[in-house]
Amino acid sequence: MKCPKCGSWCAEDPTDGYWCQNPRCQHVWHPGPKELMQFTIRKADKRHLSDINRLIVEAKIGSPMEKLDGQYWIAKVGGRVVGSMGATTIDNSTAVLTTLAVEKPYRKRGIGMSLFNHAVNHVRTQGATTIGFITMYYHFRRFKRRGFKTMPRKFLSEPLKSHWMFTAKRYMKCAAMVQTFPSRAT
Ligand SMILES: CC(C)(COP(=O)(O)OP(=O)(O)OC[C@H]1O[C@@H](n2cnc3c(N)ncnc32)[C@H](O)[C@@H]1OP(=O)(O)O)[C@@H](O)C(=O)NCCC(=O)NCCS
């Protein structure tokens, strides 16, 4: 696939888009609209563990879990689990979002960001005002548009710093993104 900006060769990137290999361009882009799909989002329980592990391993974003750590949601198309996302509440006001993954053929149809919004809304309803997660640079723009900011790990709040996801060696090439929300408590 050729880069629409400079015409150089593009590699497929893990977000189902393309990444220009010209070091001076490095444009990340996505092909045109895909057909929308009916999907449902619901809370996951232990019956969904194997599907969630399948998604995490296929997306290469983690290792299989022995049990669901925190709250999880799944997205289903027909009877098939095609996406999942987790969230852990660390204290009364801090939550960490984890392992967002959508099966490749189902990406770019709104499923991933619906799961993301669902998780953010849920932890906010539970009282979280600071929400953080880690992600790769090619996702930055997407989450910046949703109000999150990249933050060097040393500037993270103590509760976030103490969560294993921000200290795991495996995720050191990922950056932390954080957003502080107004309280929803009445
Ligand atoms: C990141 C990931 C979960 C996104 O899932 P997704 O289902 O493709 O997400 P969505 O379809 O909701 O949104 C992705 C983009 O597609 C766009 N989109 C939504 N519906 C679309 C459609 N019908 N046609 C074209 N584009 C569409 C969205 O606007 C969004 O655009 P943006 O990248 O400019 O923000 C998925 O790429 C994935 O599993 N990646 C591998 C795992 C990973 O990196 N996880 C870490 C995330 S922190």
Ligand 1 near 152 CB (within 6 A): no
pTM above 0.85, yes or no: yes
Break the chain into its structural domains and give their ranges. Answer: 1-32, 33-180
The CATH code belonging to domain 33-180 is 3.40.630.30
Residue to probe by mutation, ligand 1, list 108, 135, 140, 179, most atoms within 8 Å of CB: 108
Phi, then psi, of 83 in degrees rounded to 5: -160, 155
- pLDDT the model gives residue 161: 92
CB 112 less than 6 A from any atom of ligand 1: yes
pLDDT at residue 1, rounded to an integer: 80
Euclidean distance between CA atoms 153 and 174, whole angstroms = 10
Ligand 1 pocket member 65 (CB < 6 A): no
Q: Quick count: other Cβ atoms within 10 Å of Cβ 27?
A: 14
E strand map for the chain? 10-13, 17-20, 28-29, 40-43, 71-77, 80-91, 94-102, 130-135, 149-151, 175-180
Q: State residue 18's pLDDT score.
A: 83
Profile the chain (186 residues) by mean pLDDT over runs of 10 residues.
89 77 86 79 97 97 94 96 97 96 92 97 96 95 96 96 93 96 79
